[in-house]
Amino acid sequence: MGGRLLLSLVLFSFAPPAFGKIFSFDNESLAAVLEGSFGTSHLGQDPFASNIGSGASLSESFNYMGSGKIGFALTPGDRLSFVFALEVLRPLSISTANGLNSSGTPLYQLSSEMIALNPMAAVEYSYSRAGNVRYFAGLGVGMGQVTITNQFDMTSTGESALGVTSYTEKLKGTAINGYMSLGVEAHFVDRISVIVQGGHRIFKVHELKHGSAVTTVAEGSVSEGDTVYNRDGTKRTIDLTGSFVGFGFRIYIP
């Protein structure tokens, strides 16, 4: 028994070590994509400014926007990658902001939120490689479907001054959008890489439609599907354009 055990230990000592497959971008062609970003936007008060009321003041605005992205990436060669994903963009919501008249008396409380569902595709060109680190330039395009909800909870003073009761305004719009970015992707652990990129997004919605019948400060009574106008008769537009910094992971599939 002791001799067999000694022989087994000797054979195990001289056996070649077992190594797992070494990660290399050259050997990978398909990856799941999980990314997020945070950045600025040009929205300001455009989603609701037309309805704040003549002589009223409201200080809050949309200044920053976050996003999340889930999808997959194909890398057929050593330079190009193609990304297909569903991106969700969402500015930081405005909650219970007070609209005041010139005397500082509250006219209403405003809550406003926006979300954009953005199916998108992008191409990334790796202009430099150093081991399992690649540096790339990206160009993406999407078709964003934007939904805005503005809720005005009127006070009695607001009802008298603005001529409307409390209401919720739901707006919808669609727009082609795109971005440019520079980034770096590096092997993290096992078959997972980490990716960091910064860029600029262009995303302008030139027309919005009412999602339901409602009576508003700017337009009075409107029906579902009507084009949304400002108080001065111009179409209401919004601009989600801005710069961003993104971070995420790519999980390569064997």
Q: What is the pLDDT along the chain (254 residues), one digit of tens a residue?
A: 555 544 443 434 444 444 456 888 888 899 999 999 999 999 999 999 999 988 889 989 999 999 999 999 999 988 999 999 999 999 988 988 999 999 999 999 999 999 999 999 999 999 999 889 999 999 999 999 999 999 999 999 999 999 999 999 999 999 999 999 999 999 999 999 999 999 999 999 999 999 999 999 999 999 999 999 998 999 999 999 999 999 999 999 98
Q: Where are the beta strands (DSSP E) in 156-241?
A: 167-189, 192-202, 204-205, 209-210, 214-216, 220-222, 238-239
Length of the chain: 254
CB 105 within 8 A of CB 157: yes
CB 110 within 8 A of CB 171: no
Domains and CATH numbers, the chain: 23-252 (2.40.160.20)
Q: What are phi and psi of 125, to 5 degrees?
A: -110, 120
pLDDT number for residue 21: 65
pLDDT number for residue 7: 40
Give per-residue pLDDT as tens, 108-148.
Answer: 999 999 999 999 999 999 999 988 999 999 999 999 999 99
pLDDT number for residue 10: 40
- The type of residue at 178 is G
How far, rounded to the nearest angstrom, does the alpha carbon of residue 198 sit from its chain's CA centroid? Answer: 13
- The type of residue at 67 is S
| pTM value > 0.95 | no
CB 250 within 8 A of CB 185: yes
CB 72 within 8 A of CB 31: yes
Q: What are phi and psi of 14, to 5 degrees?
A: -100, 0
Q: What does the DSSP 8-state code read for residue 10?
A: H
Residue 7 to residue 9: CA distance in whole angstroms: 5
Q: Which residue has the tokens 């969402």?
A: 90
pLDDT number for residue 2: 52
